Amino acid sequence: MSILIPVAVVSGLGLVFGLGLSYASKVFEVKVDERISAVREMLPGANCGACGYSGCDGLAEAIINEGVHPSRCPVGGIAVVNAIADYLGIDEGSIDVNVARVLCQGNCDNVVFKYNYLGIEDCHAANALAGGMDACSYGCVGLGSCKKVCQFDAIIVENGLARIIPEKCTGCGNCVAECPKSIIKLVPVLSGFTVKCNNHDKGVIARKNCKVGCIACQRCVKVCPSEAITMDNNLAVIDPEKCTNCGQCAEACPQKCITNTIVKRFK
Amino acid sequence: MAERKKPISVLLNGLIKENPTLRLLLGMCPSLAVTTMAKNGLGMGAAATFVLVGSNLVISLIRKIVPDKVRIPAYITVIATFTTIVHLLLAAFLPELNKQLGIYIPLIVVNCIIFARAEMFAQKNGPLLSVLDGLGMGAGFTLAITAIGSVREILGAGTWMGIPVTVNLFEPAIMFILPPGGFLVMGFLVALFNKLADKKDKSLECETGCEAGCPGCSKAANGGEA
Amino acid sequence: MKELFAILIGAILVENFVLSKFLGICPFLGVSKKTSTALGMSGAVVFVLVMSQAVTWLANEYLLEPYNLEYLQTITFILVIAALVQFVETVLKKLMPPLYKALGVYLPLITTNCAVLGSALIFVERNYTFIEAVVFGFAAGLGFTLALILFSGIRERLETADIPEAFKGMPITLVAASLVSITFIGFAGLIIG
Amino acid sequence: MFKDIIKPSIILFLVCAVMTGALAYVNGVTEPIIDENNKIAEQESLKNVFSDADNFLDAKTGEELKTEGIDVSDNIEKLYTAQKDGQSIGYVVSVFSSGYGGKLKILVGIDNDLNIKGISLVSHNETPGLGANAANPKFTDQFLGKAPQKEFNVVKRVPNDDSEIQAITAATVTSKAVTKGVNEAVALVRSIVGGA
């Protein structure tokens, strides 16, 4: 008998709350298109804002109401895009998914230092002091501001140089905006070969400041079979559309600053 | 992590890689408040593990039939029942431990670890895996708060599990038994754990074989920051 | 009236929920990164604390005391709090969407907040009257807010500080919290009434 | 209508019912043991305050004492009558006082001719290492022996008569609180014994 009263009391409360809650959720129901919540489920949910909307809820609404193409979300990769496309019955279309890449190889061993920096561990702070401690004023300062901003732990800073792990990078672009030297560029994921340098000085100055900088010798331009490489005031630039990833420019480059970083994830 | 999880990895996961107190930073209230003595830590850990395993089991059994509208109240009732059962058993059979743990036993109900594991794990996996996860997490929690308790007791009271250890070495600093000591010891332990775990994580990052990059994975989602 | 004032000051300063009674640390550490989020969270906590104190007191007085079911306290209180939070969330989502946007994401967090259940258990232990319980809840909420905002200010400054690698993130926050809680020990001697 | 109102409520009702059933069953089993534990603990605490009594009558609360016409300060929580082989030889008073860290509860054993048999600080949250030292015998033994006519008062220097209590260094607030509690207990027993 002494078991009945407590059971009655608590389950009575449970019943009252059950009714109350479900009734309240019915009365105060906010009409939401269930397709939006379905799409919201499929999106990665990192709310990183790379798609330009206020997080995944914003993008889900835009996909349903404004017909934005699911590939607008670079973070999810092919899996998410296909899933939403099948759900909505539209074709996947071309995927312009990008990956961020640090166009510099100037770590502590390669680059010459102007001064010894012992201040706050932040690139903006170092950059404010005569453009950072590296002699080459275009190069990566290596104090990890980009790392602090990256939500996906895709950036590691080794030996004074930031390096982006292609597999982890989702192309959300936070680091591109953050870097005071703007040496991080968003490149199409399938483009293998890039010039890992951002230096527009004349060759002779570039050679003095950094062992692996582009000295504008133009050998790569001459050797490239598909004329994908052009000179942009003393800096070789590879055009991703034309480049066939043949790799001849990498062999030709005396400074070895053209490297190949094919991303396995999208094989 | 769609592929079938190996039970052993689920069990060990709670101990080091995702230690609830020192890595996921859940369940901070009891782990700071009760750890003035190592013995308390042990008692609290054992009680919490019992509740965790029990509630994980029951929640993973009823997860399919509970509709989403009353999910939180239903799960909380299950957890509260197990907590009260532990409270009654402790009061009946271990009165002096119960006196020390006092208000913190009922607070196991709102201990974030239990509710977090119920939401994160028990709701998505079968009973066996949930029980193993409960055991792993409980053991990790017990390990962590006993470690904190030992450090605070040795520094603050000069004893360990009641045995005088450093009475003549140095005058015990009472500060460690007071609340600020709790935060301090916790902070240093979490830093130590980050150092240990990071060394392993670094190797993780170099060989990019693992299915890295998915933002949903728990490591990226709530790595250091809670 | 004097004891109400004593309870009010006591709960905010002397037995501050976060820094001396160790209740509600999870949201305290999790949400105090920016002062704006801290404000949102503490608003939600004060709001829920006052409501939950009132409802739990009534539940205790009219449901548990008459049949002396003391051991059911935990389960009834937490059931009441969970239902209350979910109810508040649905009502807020419908009637005041802007407030819900600012406050909403923290509401489910509050169900598992030790401070809410802790304050309910404390007013039972000290068998406060109805008004005393509600004032205690309100004061506890203010204490929580004071600690949270004070701390979020400090954490914002921590961002630009030069911290050793292993201490980045949560460890340095914990060390900072320990220093702040030392200051609150200063209030311990404040005897009122 | 059914699916999203009745169904959830019934399921919550069932979950609560099953869970509380289990709880009530466990409580049914453990309740007698807990009561017994409490009784033992209480007897023990009374014993070490009044060693030569062999059993204690049930406690009378403050209100009951008031109804019997004894003026009781509202800090007094309970009064136990101490007995030795059937004969009432004294009382144990449990009294509240507000110390440095908040409320503290003291048990005072006083026999019929008003000498104090024992003092124990039952529950307190004074700062460990300072206020908490009031609990150990070095401080409480000062109260033992004949209760003086005038009240105990706390002094900072070495006491020169047995009505003065030396305060613990850096814990005067706690020392005063304990002394105030003991004085109230003595006054109560004095009014009972003196009056009776």
Q: Domain limits of chain C?
A: 2-189
The per-residue pLDDT of chain C, averaged, comes to: 82
**Helix axis angle, C170-185 to C130-159, nearest 10°:** 130
In a domain, D78, yes or no: yes
The answer, yes or no, to whether residue D106 has pLDDT greater than 70, is yes
The answer, yes or no, to whether residue C103 has pLDDT greater than 70, is no
Confidence of residue B208 (pLDDT cuts 50, 70, 90): very low
Mean of pLDDT values over D49-78: 78
Secondary structure, 3-state, D3-46: HHHHHHHHHHHHHHHHHHHHHHHHHHHHHHHHHHHHHHHHHHHH
The Cα A233–Cα A150 span in angstroms is: 31
Top mean-pLDDT range of A71-75, B181-185, D134-138: B181-185
Q: Chain centroid to CA C79: how far? A: 18
- Out of C71, C72, C191, the one facing D98 most closely (by C-beta) is C191
Which residues in chain D are contacts of A17 at CB distance < 8 A?
A: 12
For A230, residues 6+ apart whose C-beta sits below 8 A from its C-beta are A221, A236, A237, A239
| Smallest CA–CA distance from B95 into chain D, residue | D37
pLDDT tens profile D29-41: 888 888 888 888 8
B190: contact with C, CB 8 A cutoff: yes
Q: What angle do CA A231, A235, A239 make, to 5 degrees?
A: 55
Q: What is the pLDDT of residue A216?
A: 85
Q: Structural domain of residue D120, as residue ranges?
A: 55-195
Mind giving me the DSSP string for C23-84?
-SHHHHHHHTTSHHHHHHHHHHHHHHHHHHHHHHHHHIIIIITTTT-GGGHHHHHHHHHHHH
Element (H, E) at A42: helix A34-42
The Cα B48–Cα B113 span in angstroms is: 9
The answer, yes or no, to whether residue B2 has pLDDT greater than 50, is no
Contact in structure between A68 and A160 (CB atoms under 8 Å): no
pTM for the model stands at: 0.67
The Cα B165–Cα B114 span in angstroms is: 34
For A210-214, C153-157, C173-177, C189-193, which range has the lowest pLDDT when averaged over its residues? C189-193
pLDDT tens profile A68-116: 777 777 666 667 777 787 887 776 655 556 788 888 888 888 888 888 8
Top mean-pLDDT range of B11-20, C30-39, D182-191: D182-191
Contact in structure between B31 and B21 (CB atoms under 8 Å): yes
> B85 and D23: CB-CB below 8 Å?
yes
Torsion over CA: C82, C88, C91, C97 (sign): negative
Q: What is the pLDDT of residue C191?
A: 59
Q: What is the pLDDT of residue C105?
A: 59
Which residues, in sequence order, are bridge partners of residue D81? D91
> C94 and A6: CB-CB below 8 Å?
no
| Smallest CA–CA distance from D8 into chain A, residue | A18
Pairing of strands D60-61, D76-84: antiparallel
C46: contact with A, CB 8 A cutoff: no
The answer, yes or no, to whether residue A264 has pLDDT greater than 60, is no
Of all residues in chain D, the percent with pLDDT exceeding 90 is: 0
Task: Name the architecture of domain A98-266.
Answer: 2-Layer Sandwich (3.30)
How high is the ipTM of this complex?
0.70
Give the pair of three-digit tokens for residue D134. 């009031």
Longest dimension (CA), chain B: 61
For C184, residues 6+ apart whose C-beta sits below 8 A from its C-beta are C13, C16, C19, C20, C147
Of all residues in chain D, the percent with pLDDT exceeding 70 is: 96
Q: Domain limits of chain A?
A: 34-88, 98-266
The Cα A199–Cα A215 span in angstroms is: 8
Q: What is the pLDDT of residue A190?
A: 65
D101: contact with C, CB 8 A cutoff: yes
Confidence of residue B218 (pLDDT cuts 50, 70, 90): very low
Percent of chain A as helix, strand, coil, to the nearest 5:
35, 15, 50
Top mean-pLDDT range of B198-207, B216-225, C101-110: C101-110
Taking any CB pair shorter than 8 Å as contact, residues of chain A touching chain D are 2-3, 6-7, 9-11, 13-15, 17-19, 21-23, 25-26
Q: What is the pLDDT of residue D195?
A: 54
- Out of A6, A7, A15, the one facing D9 most closely (by C-beta) is A15
Contact in structure between B115 and B82 (CB atoms under 8 Å): no
> A15 and D12: CB-CB below 8 Å?
yes
For D2, residues 6+ apart whose C-beta sits below 8 A from its C-beta are none
pLDDT tens profile C40-87: 778 888 888 898 999 999 988 888 888 878 888 888 888 888 888 888
> Residue A217, SS3?
coil
Q: What angle do CA B219, B225, B226 make, to 5 degrees?
A: 90
The Cα B89–Cα B164 span in angstroms is: 30
Which residue in the block uniquely carries the two structure tokens 């008062």? D153
Q: What is the pLDDT of residue B214?
A: 36
Burial of residue C98 (CB within 10 Å: 0-12, 13-18, 19+) is: exposed
What's the full length of chain C, in residues?
Answer: 193
> A11 and D17: CB-CB below 8 Å?
yes
> A17 and C69: CB-CB below 8 Å?
no
For B35, residues 6+ apart whose C-beta sits below 8 A from its C-beta are B41, B44, B145, B146, B148, B149, B152, B182, B185
For B97, residues 6+ apart whose C-beta sits below 8 A from its C-beta are B39, B40, B43, B90
> A122 and C160: CB-CB below 8 Å?
yes
> A21 and B70: CB-CB below 8 Å?
yes
The Cα D136–Cα D174 span in angstroms is: 13
Best of A7, A121, A178 to disrupt the C interface by mutation (most C CBs within 10 Å)? A121
In a domain, D19, yes or no: no
Q: What is the pLDDT of residue B223?
A: 33
**B87-101 burial string, b = 16+ CB within 10 Å, else e?**
bbbbbbebeebbeeb
| Smallest CA–CA distance from C79 into chain B, residue | B73
Confidence of residue B224 (pLDDT cuts 50, 70, 90): very low
C188: contact with D, CB 8 A cutoff: yes
The answer, yes or no, to whether residue C151 has pLDDT greater than 70, is yes
CATH label, A34-88, candidates 1.10.15.40, 3.10.129.10, 1.10.260.30, 1.20.80.10 = 1.10.15.40
Confidence of residue C138 (pLDDT cuts 50, 70, 90): very high
Phi (first) and psi of residue C150, to 5 degrees: -55, -45
Of all residues in chain A, the percent with pLDDT exceeding 90 is: 0
pLDDT tens profile B46-63: 888 989 999 999 988 888
The answer, yes or no, to whether residue B149 has pLDDT greater than 50, is yes
Element (H, E) at A62: helix A55-65
Q: What is the pLDDT of residue D176?
A: 84
